[in-house]
Amino acid sequence: MYNQDDVITAQFIMRSKECGFSLAETSSLLAIKNDKSQHVCAEAKQITQLKVIEIAEQIKKLKKMQATLSKLEKFCCGGQESAEFCSIISSLEKES
């Protein structure tokens, strides 16, 4: 039902998704792939560099979230008593 070019395109899209590229980024990369003679390698590199920076920022935010959650978890007793004095709930209620 699909020709070889369709399969290659689908695989390209899947690999792009696995790398974390958005649909718009994948579309741009696909445009480069489909008309290589009208594009330069620097275009693909720029898209990739921006994705690396974006992912680094996400990792930074996730590490900060992990540290905060670990701190909250560490100070909670986790017991069966009322959550009225739960350190996690109290911390989340506080304004920063």
Q: What is the CATH number of the domain that holds 39?
A: 1.10.1660.10
Alpha-carbon distance 77 to 86, whole Å?
A: 8
pTM of the shown model: 0.77
Instruction: Please list the helix, strand and coil fractions of the chain in percent, rounded to the nearest 5, in that order.
Output: 80, 0, 20
The set of residues, in sequence order, having a beta carbon less than 8 Å from that of 72 and lying 6+ positions away, is: 87, 88, 91, 92
> pLDDT, tens digit, for every residue of 57-74?
999 999 999 999 999 999
What average pLDDT is seen over the chain? 94
- The pLDDT, as a whole number, for residue 94 is 84
Please report, as a single letter, which amino acid is at residue 65: M
Kindly state the percentage of the chain with pLDDT values over 70. Answer: 98
Give the residue carrying structure tokens 């739960």: 86
Give the total number of structural domains in the chain: 1
Question: Angle between the 41-75 and 23-34 helix axes, to the nearest 10 degrees?
Answer: 160
SS3 call for 67 = helix
Taking 90 as the threshold, does the pLDDT of residue 40 lie above it?
yes
> pLDDT, tens digit, for every residue of 13-37?
999 999 999 999 999 999 999 999 9
Where in the sequence is the domain holding 14, given as residue range(s)? 4-93
